[in-house]
């Protein structure tokens, strides 16, 4: 049985609009509800929710490939590049900053054209040293014939499962030219369908030596950002893909071994998207809790130090707050920190934890 890219009419995908009508309408409805609720809260809180989701998106995108990124470091790099508060977050290196910059370029600059050079820049950002683990990778270029057959596999080393084999390297230049032309100037499609097709098409071509899944998810996120018509991200498709990784590879393999009718793939993609929206509702509730907190805090004459610390405490702060941490975050004296904290406790915005003496520490009272 030939792979999908071996069909003579490749890449003229077809699908059944009648079958996809209901799941597409449902996915669009849930997307609109989520974005509408996020628009109802303040800009700063939306930025915080977006930071949560972008952190999850990057961490889970790497996890799909069996690689680990430190969420605190990812959050720190994102906050730094977005001009948000980074107090209490770890310092990050240039390699991680480059990865984060790539993801932000895909979503924050989604309206800019996708080009060959842009894809090369993203790929180079993934492999700034030219190495992938112990293997040298040609970064910022299509894969060459010397690499040999490119198989898409999943599973642990020694127990890999081959899902399909990508087109020969000699075809990549022409295949990617056709893909980029379609992505930028192809027929008018619903943006959610376009995101699903783009992901499948790019994974099928597998244009690079390594990092193809991550690049495909970045392009998919770019298409979704265009669909959302906002630079902020309030759901994470990669988080849902990582949760359903086994089923994802099953769908990918099934589609590769079928014909050019990709109705089943698109139906699954729309359902995956809807589940990603559903999973994002927890972040939405957390964001609304923060809105209620700031509504209560707004009745108090907070100074800049207190406001800065409360922002950090509500933003995935590691561990309890101590006077020492407060003083370090705000560059103030121990006495000033203690005075500020006591005032916040009196206002009911902070509460003392059970530990006392030198171990005295505090937590934010998030529910108001």
* Per-residue pLDDT reduced to its tens digit, 67-108: 888 888 998 899 889 887 776 678 888 889 989 999 999 999
Q: Walk me through the domains of the chain, giving residue ranges and CATH numbers.
A: 4-280 (1.10.3290.10), 298-364 (1.10.10.10)
Distance CA 274, CA 31 (A): 8
Report pLDDT for 157.
Answer: 67
Distance CA 191, CA 226 (A): 7
Distance CA 116, CA 119 (A): 5
Per-residue pLDDT averaged across 317-325, rounded? 87
The candidate with the shortest Cα–Cα distance to 143, out of 175, 118, 100, is: 175
Lowest mean pLDDT among 169-183, 206-220, 226-240: 226-240
What does the pLDDT look like over 8-42, one tens digit per residue? 999 999 999 999 999 999 999 999 998 888 877 77
Report pLDDT for 38.
Answer: 80
The pTM assigned to this predicted structure is 0.79
Confidence category of residue 135, pLDDT binned at 50, 70, 90: confident
Tokens found for residue 362: 């505090």
The candidate with the shortest Cα–Cα distance to 352, out of 314, 311, 323, 315, is: 323
Confidence category of residue 216, pLDDT binned at 50, 70, 90: very high
The rounded mean pLDDT for the chain is 88
What does the pLDDT look like over 264-286, one tens digit per residue? 999 999 999 999 999 887 777 77
Collapsed DSSP state (helix, strand, coil) of residue 41: coil
- Tell me how far the alpha carbon of residue 224 is from its chain's centroid: 11
Buried b (16+ CB within 10 A) or exposed e, 330-352: beeeeebbeebbebbeebebbee
Report pLDDT for 151.
Answer: 81
Find residue 364's DSSP bridge partners.
350
């Amino acid at each position: 049985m030939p792979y999908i890219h071996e069909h003579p009419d490749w890449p003229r995908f077809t699908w059944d609009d009648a079958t996809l009508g209901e799941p597409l309408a449902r996915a669009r409805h849930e997307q609109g509800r989520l974005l509408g609720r996020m628009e109802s809260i303040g800009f700063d809180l939306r930025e915080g929710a977006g930071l949560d989701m972008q952190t999850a998106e990057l961490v889970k995108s790497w996890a799909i490939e069996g690689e680990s990124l430190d969420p605190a470091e990812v959050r720190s790099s994102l906050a730094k590049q977005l001009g948000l508060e980074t107090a209490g977050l770890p310092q990050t290196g240039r390699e991680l900053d480059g990865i984060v910059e790539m993801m932000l370029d895909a979503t924050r600059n989604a309206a800019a054209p996708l080009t060959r050079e842009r894809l090369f820049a993203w790929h180079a950002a993934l492999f700034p040293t030219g190495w992938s683990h112990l293997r040298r990778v040609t970064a910022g270029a299509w894969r060459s014939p010397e690499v040999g057959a490119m198989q898409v596999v999943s599973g642990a080393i020694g127990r890999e499962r081959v899902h399909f084999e990508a087109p020969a390297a000699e075809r990549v230049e022409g295949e990617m030219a056709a893909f980029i032309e379609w992505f930028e100037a192809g027929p008018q499609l619903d943006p959610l369908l376009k995101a699903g097709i783009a992901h499948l098409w790019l994974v099928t071509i597998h244009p690079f030596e390594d990092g193809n899944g991550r690049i495909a998810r970045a392009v998919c996120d770019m298409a979704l950002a265009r669909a959302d018509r906002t630079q902020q991200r309030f759901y994470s498709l990669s988080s849902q893909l990582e949760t359903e990784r086994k089923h994802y590879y099953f769908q990918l393999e099934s589609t590769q071994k079928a014909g050019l009718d990709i109705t089943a793939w698109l139906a699954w993609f729309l359902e995956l998207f809807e589940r990603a929206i559903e999973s994002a509702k927890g972040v939405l509730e957390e964001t609304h809790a923060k809105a209620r907190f700031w509504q209560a805090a707004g009745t108090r004459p907070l100074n800049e130090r207190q406001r800065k610390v409360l922002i950090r405490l509500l933003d995935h702060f590691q561990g309890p707050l101590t006077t020492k941490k407060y003083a370090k975050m705000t560059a103030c004296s121990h006495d000033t920190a203690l005075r500020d904290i006591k005032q916040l406790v009196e206002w009911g915005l902070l509460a003392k934890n059970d530990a006392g003496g030198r171990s005295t520490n505090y937590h934010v009272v998030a529910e108001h």
